[in-house]
Amino acid sequence: MSASIQDKIKKWLSLRNTAVLFLVVYFAIFMIYPIFKAFTGSLHNWNPLIDQYDFVGLDNFKSVIQNKLFWDSISNTLFFAFFSVLFRVIFGLGLAMLLYSKLTKFKSFFNGMFYMPTITPLVAVSFVWLWMFNPQFGLINNVFNLDINWLNDSKYALPAITIMTIWKDFGYATVIFLAGLMGLPKDVFEAADVDGAGKFRKFFNITLPLLKPITLFVVITSLISYLQAYVQILIMTEGGPGTSTYVISYLIFDEAFVKYNFGTASAMSIILFVIIAILTAIMFKLTSERKTTS
């Protein structure tokens, strides 16, 4: 082996080792350590303002479980996540089917147009919709001739935030589903046409089953994101009116950076982590069972 080839191999190994070391350090600092710190903090009465860090065992978890606001925030979080994920998938897949079948010439234009809200900062979108939901001069009430005080009524505040989130994010699902549709084998659909299958039959018997992996990806990534929703709550309602739009992430923020109960906030974070892990595992389990039975 020539010296030049040996030098290239050594250089490649050096670059690879450097990249691996960087990834290890990155995960250790920004993922493993925060999780470890949250777990240890959940076992302490922790207030950094007064340098308090007293071991209390599971007392923080007991107080969280006995806190009615915590369970209300869990309920709000599940409501928000369920409907956001559901309509993100429905609208994303529906629009992807439309773009794939009807608008071939302008597919790139409409794809980019619907994806634009997704890459727009959530802070900016939240402020725009804050104006749109204004009961006096907001666009929503004026266009649809409604008289609803969206963000100041406990019945409508959380649904309003959910509507805004769906509008902002379903373009992402559209792009993913459209890529999946373009990769489907055409010979399967041609065989279905020969057998005389209609559009609905092809959609439910061929398209949906073939898109299951992509649908699972969209559902899981969306679920993880929406269970941690925070920014739109902070900007649009600050948890109000009352506590009607408190979600778990906002409650964690309130406990940590308003009340400075970092121990309680850490316990809530661990519980949220467990909830996300369980729901993700259930989704994988259900999908694997369907693959096995099919």
Q: What is the CATH number of the domain that holds 141?
A: 1.10.3720.10
70 and 56, same structural domain? Answer: no
244 and 181, same structural domain? Answer: yes
Short-list 215, 236, 105, CA closest to 164:
236
Number of domains in the chain: 2
Residue 257: its pLDDT value, please?
Answer: 92
Residue 239: its pLDDT value, please?
Answer: 93
199 and 54, same structural domain? Answer: no
- Examine the fold and report which residue of 22, 42, 60 is the final residue of a domain before the chain moves on: 60
Residue 104 CA to residue 110 CA, distance in Å, equals 10
Residue 55 CA to residue 50 CA, distance in Å, equals 15
220 and 148, same structural domain? Answer: yes
Q: Which domain holds residue 50?
A: 3-60
109 and 41, same structural domain? Answer: no
* Under 8 Å between Cβ of 217 and 176: yes
280 and 223, same structural domain? Answer: yes
Residue 245: its pLDDT value, please?
Answer: 96
Residue 279 CA to residue 216 CA, distance in Å, equals 12
Residue 251: its pLDDT value, please?
Answer: 95
16 and 121, same structural domain? Answer: no
280 and 138, same structural domain? Answer: yes
Q: What is the pTM of this model?
A: 0.87
- Examine the fold and report which residue of 11, 37, 60 is the final residue of a domain before the chain moves on: 60
Kind plus residue range of the DSSP H or E element containing 44:
strand 44-47
123 and 244, same structural domain? Answer: yes
Torsions phi, psi for 153 (to 5 deg): -120, 125
188 and 52, same structural domain? Answer: no
51 and 133, same structural domain? Answer: no
- Each residue's pLDDT, cut to its tens digit, for the chain (294 residues) gives 555 666 665 665 577 677 777 888 888 888 889 889 999 999 999 998 888 999 999 999 999 999 999 999 999 999 999 999 999 999 999 999 888 876 556 667 777 788 889 889 999 999 999 999 999 989 999 999 999 999 999 999 999 999 999 999 999 999 999 889 888 888 888 788 787 778 888 888 888 989 988 998 899 899 999 999 999 999 999 999 999 999 999 999 999 999 999 999 999 999 999 998 898 888 777 766 555 555
- Distance, first Cα to last Cα, the chain: 53
Residue 91: its pLDDT value, please?
Answer: 95
Q: Report, in this order, helix, strand and coil percent for the chain, each rounded to 5.
A: 75, 5, 20
Residue 33 CA to residue 53 CA, distance in Å, equals 18
157 and 14, same structural domain? Answer: no
Q: Which tokens belong to 243?
A: 């506590």
CA distances to 41, 44, 95 from 52, rounded to whole Å, are 11, 9, 53
Which sign, positive or negative, has the C-alpha torsion 266, 267, 268, 274? positive
Residue 181 CA to residue 175 CA, distance in Å, equals 10
